[in-house]
Amino acid sequence: FVGSSNKTECKSMDLSWNKYIDKKLEFHDQLLLDTIRRDQDPVVREYMRLLALCHTVMVEEKESELVYQAASPDEEALVTAARNLGYVFLSRTQDTITISELGIQRTYKVLALLDFNSVRKRMSVLVQDPEGCIKLYTKGADSVILERLHGDQTNEGCTIKALDSFAAETLRTLCLAMKEVDKKEYALWSKKHHAASILLQGRAQELDKIYEEIEQNLKLLGATAIEDKLQDGVPETIHLLKRGDIKVWVLTGDKQETAVNIGFACQLLSEDMIILEESKISEILEPTWYSSNSLIGSSEALCNNSSFLPYQASGGHVKKALVVTGDFLEKIFHTEEEKKAKKMKGLLESLCFRTADTSKEHGNLIEKAFVELATTCQAVICCRVTPKQKALIVQMVKRHKNAISLAIGDGANDVNMIKTADIGVGISGQEGMQAVQCSDYALAQFRYLQRLLFVHGKWSYLRISKFLRYFFFKTFAGMMVQIWFAFYTGFTAQVSVNSPAPP
């Protein structure tokens, strides 16, 4: 929940040939600009087309200028970048997308739009160009794009190096890929897609399977990087939170390298911290991970584990930070094992066998051990997590720790987390207003959290304590009058104050 301003900047030369150029733009890469304008490299051409075609941005013209409206500021930044470099998104209808490619207007027929979601971590668009060629354009997280590439990719190595370099600079990255689709292959796939889209039950799951079929054997085009600037006062606010003995957990969908570097940028992490990664965490949690015979024995084994004791006993003497990914958290949440256990339990019950439901207890033991380890750390970073996992993390902490949880976020992917926490704080910004609408408190910037907690929070405690003292005094005074009056009336149950007469 680190605050960010979501403002992008391009790092001057003559761009007057592009009438759609942003007049405030500053661009310094003459080589890239010359390569795009020569229009001789097919990879660069398809890269720029992808930026102009693969999105859900809406456009309208105001005072002879194009105004883009997007659900995500990242999408708007990429489409704007393509416009400034000569590939201009002009209009969209239900079935077509019209763009200007270096001054030449072209209209593409949209055959299918493969939506983005937190599980797929990518989106695609299937289009037919004016020449009749069918192409699939895909953009998404590097972890899902790279594993769907065609075997022979000459530029994969340099792209991975660029991604690592971008992550080190705390930039948010995406991979871009495409492929040409044979008309016969598309005709067969289109029938399956239509059949899945009209299902009444399980439509989303079936569509994901159909999308998976066509998003294979892709050709890598390159990567993008967007700077998500920290808001003013974020490092100072986090420092105050840590001084107030408040545990700070960062839950983000960014890749691990980006998340860790953002942690250093906002002073959540420091150079003198020991960073516990997944391999070390697995070693510490091993007694609970694999023990299923005796839950009590496994709990004792965890407490006596030589790997766990130093971190549990060190307390605040050794600064530690914990870094995990969404895939690792799936094991902690025990979701896959629970699904298998439910299927097996149903099968055994159908065969008239009684089963003991130990999988849930075992999963709770693993969660408790993980929370105990995490709370000994000064910082926790969970990267590549989905909105559902963010909410599950909050639930896990509430279940195993007697503590008040506060969640703060600025986007639609933070809504579940904000609603699950005891206190939800939404930040209004360029990510939209969904987080604010679902929160208990709304802030304009992350740094205002320190005043909410340390000023208004303290005042609230003082007001409540004064109210409770008054409440006890009022109750005691009223009851003592009634008790003394009972002695005076000989315990006849006569009230000391008559009720008002009915109107």
In the annotated binding site for Mg(2+), the residues are 410, 414
Residues in the chain: 503
Cβ atoms of 221 and 178 closer than 8 Å: yes
CA dihedral over 284, 285, 288, 291, signed as positive or negative:
negative
Instruction: Classify 255 in phi/psi space as left (phi over 0), alpha (psi -120 to 50) or beta.
Output: beta
**373 is written with which tokens?**
């380890």
Tokens of 443: 């802030």
Task: Compute the distance between CA of residue 207 and CA of residue 193 in angstroms, rounded to an integer.
Answer: 7
Q: Which among 473, 392, 431 has a CA at the least distance from the CA of 74?
A: 431
Residue 409 CB contacts under 8 Å (≥ 6 apart), including other chains: 1, 415, 417, 418, 425, 426, 427, 435
Scored b (16 or more CB within 10 A) or e, 98-115 reads bbbbbeeebebebbbebe
217's torsion region: left (phi>0), alpha (psi -120 to 50) or beta? left
DSSP structural state of residue 72:
S
Cα distances (Å, whole numbers) of residue 368 to 283, 297, 318, 350: 16, 15, 22, 33
Binding-site positions: 75, 116, 139, 172, 252-254, 384, 390, 410, 413-414
Quote the Cα angle for 427-432-438, to 5°: 60
Closest to 396 measured CA to CA, from 426, 365, 425, 431: 365
Q: For the chain, how are helix, strand and coil distributed in percent, rounded to 5?
A: 50, 20, 30
Q: Radius of gyration over alpha carbons of the chain, in Å?
A: 29
Summarize the annotated binding site for ATP as residue ranges: 75, 116, 139, 172, 252-254, 384, 390, 413-414
